[in-house]
Structure 1
Amino acid sequence: MENIKIGKIVSSVGLRGEVNVYNYSYGNRFDSLDSVIIDGSEAKIQNVRYRKNIVILKLNIANNRNEADILKNKDIYITEEDLPALGQDEFFIKDIIGLKVINGETNAYIGVLEDVLQNGPQDIYSIKRDNGETALIPAVKDFIMDISFTEGIKVKVIPGLIDDED
């Protein structure tokens, strides 16, 4: 079974063993968790607080600042069973990475979805082209026509979106 990375410990907080976690997940995801996986071992969550995009966790494996400092730069994972249920037309990013990307109007092959960048108001799909270049497409309904695990991702291509497309 695959573990899913949901955060990274960036520093210790105070003297009681709390840690600052950069949250790769969404919103208050940590509220619904009893434990996480760090270095392949389970760590029980004793308390969760939030400050902007930082999560402050108290874990059973760190009872003082020195123990919390040891956890710095460690990734935090959950199991697939801990993932929330999906609604209709929802998917996990990990499940669409590697899908082929095609022009939704001509069915011309564009490339393969290599990454999903989550830096701003909307996600950006990073598409690896056969020529080695990368195309960036906003992941919004204006451009993403359909996502199918069998047919791939169909995009609406407008002039300038993809270098060799009109």
Structure 2
Amino acid sequence: MTQPDRVCVGAIAGAFGVQGEVRLKSFCAEPGDIAGYAPLYTEDGSRAFDVTLTRATKNGLGARLSGVNTKEEADALRGTTLWADRDKLPSLPDDEFYYADLIGLTVVDTGGEKLGTVRAVHNHGAGDILEIFASGRKQALLLPFTKAIVPTVDLTAGRIVADPPEEMQ
């Protein structure tokens, strides 16, 4: 169970070398900022790591994590997501959001009709996509997270107003 006061800031992509170093994927706008948010926690909060960045690698960062001393220990952590306390993260401008804040929000169309609930946020390189689950639909609705299609995000009210093109509804 994810801690509600934490935000996913990266993931361990596997071992890097034989001395217990890991390859990190940083989900931060500035990848190197991830170390400044330490300690970083596993999703369930059972482990915490101090982070020392060692070098840039292809598609990531080399890093040392406290308590990880061998290649085997580093390999065992492959795929582990890393979470930072929200109060260590910078505040965002009004038009930017942490993915964690969007998941679970109700999505309605411009007429107030419920479209579903945000289940995930994806980014495959061409921009953010909201995955919206609605009972009665066979497939999730995937909406580009752009101002044109998602004009309003109201975190206080817990809802998103979307204006999907006709062919997507």
TM-score (norm 1): 0.81
Q: What CA distance in whole angstroms lies between the structure 1 residues aligned with 2:109 and 2:75? A: 49
Q: Does the CA-based 8 Å contact 2:102-2:118 persist in structure 1?
A: yes
Q: Does the CA-based 8 Å contact 2:37-2:89 persist in structure 1?
A: no
The aligned counterpart of 2:166 is 159
Q: Deviations over 1:2-23 (max 9, x none)?
A: 3333322222112332101233
1:113 maps onto 2:145 in alignment: no
Deviation at 1:52, TM superposition (A): 4.3
The aligned counterpart of 2:40 is 36
Q: What CA distance in whole angstroms lies between the structure 1 residues aligned with 2:133 and 2:72? A: 43
Instruction: List gaps (5 residues or longer) in structure 1.
Output: none
1:106-145 correspondence runs (5 A): 106-133=111-138, 134-145=140-151
The aligned counterpart of 1:4 is 7
Alignment root-mean-square deviation, CA: 2.4
SS of 2:126's partner is coil
Q: What CA distance in whole angstroms lies between the structure 2 residues aligned with 1:151 and 1:77? A: 22
From the CA coordinates, give the structure whose radius of gyration is larger.
Answer: 1
TM-score (norm 2): 0.79
Deviation at 1:146, TM superposition (A): 0.8
Q: What CA distance in whole angstroms lies between the structure 2 residues aligned with 1:18 and 1:131? A: 47
Q: What CA distance in whole angstroms lies between the structure 1 residues aligned with 2:136 and 2:8? A: 30
Q: Does the CA-based 8 Å contact 1:99-1:152 persist in structure 2?
A: yes
Q: What CA distance in whole angstroms lies between the structure 2 residues aligned with 1:30 and 1:51? A: 15
Q: What CA distance in whole angstroms lies between the structure 1 residues aligned with 2:124 and 2:146? A: 14
Task: Identify the range of structure 1 (146-155 vs 47-56) with the bigger mean alpha-carbon deviation.
Answer: 47-56
Instruction: List gaps (5 residues or longer) in structure 2.
Output: none
Aligned residue identity for 1:97: I
The aligned counterpart of 2:78 is 72
Change (3 A) 1:75 1:126: closer
The aligned counterpart of 1:147 is 153
Corresponding pairs, count: 161
SS of 2:151's partner is strand
Q: Deviations over 1:63-100 (max 9, x none)?
A: 34344334334332222222222222332221121222
Identical residues among aligned pairs (%): 22
Q: Which one of the candidate residues 107, 128, 134 is aligned to 1:101? A: 107
Q: Does the CA-based 8 Å contact 2:12-2:80 persist in structure 1?
A: yes
